[in-house]
Amino acid sequence: MPDYSGTPLIKKLGITPAMKVLLINSPAAYFDWLHTDIRPQLIQQPANETPHFVHAFVTSTSQYMTIFKELIAIYKANPSVIIWVSWYKKSAGIATDVTEHTIRNYALQHDLVDVKVCAVSDQWSGLKLVVRKELRTR
């Protein structure tokens, strides 16, 4: 089922059937939002395989910084990985110190750039991060 933009979430996120997917702290409703069962594509945390796609959900800046250490190892192993980081929207009414700017600014300091933002659900926003183009060809 598409959201208000008319595009299904799985397409907005860019998840394809061939991808190995790592989810970090995903809400229980995640698979409902996708309307697609991607469980066969999931890899476990800590990742024993290198994922093509990572979606991390964070509720505090300190949690984001901790998770980011794992993300660094992942994108060093696979510079073409797609990383989404999600945080609570202000309209969700849940106290958090994480914002789009928090995620973006820290990512920019660590060789990642943001290329897309989207609504993941009524409560969660997401920022898509990728390795800087000039570093992906190494």
Q: Which architecture does CATH list for 9-136?
A: 3-Layer(aba) Sandwich (3.40)
For the chain, the structural domain boundaries read: 9-136
Banded model confidence at residue 1, pLDDT cuts 50, 70, 90: very low
Q: How many Å apart are CA 94 and CA 105, to the nearest integer?
A: 22
For the segment 17-55, what is each residue's pLDDT rounded down to a tens digit? 999 999 999 999 999 999 999 999 999 876 578 999 999
**Model confidence pLDDT, tens digit, residues 73-108:** 999 999 999 999 999 998 878 889 999 999 999 999
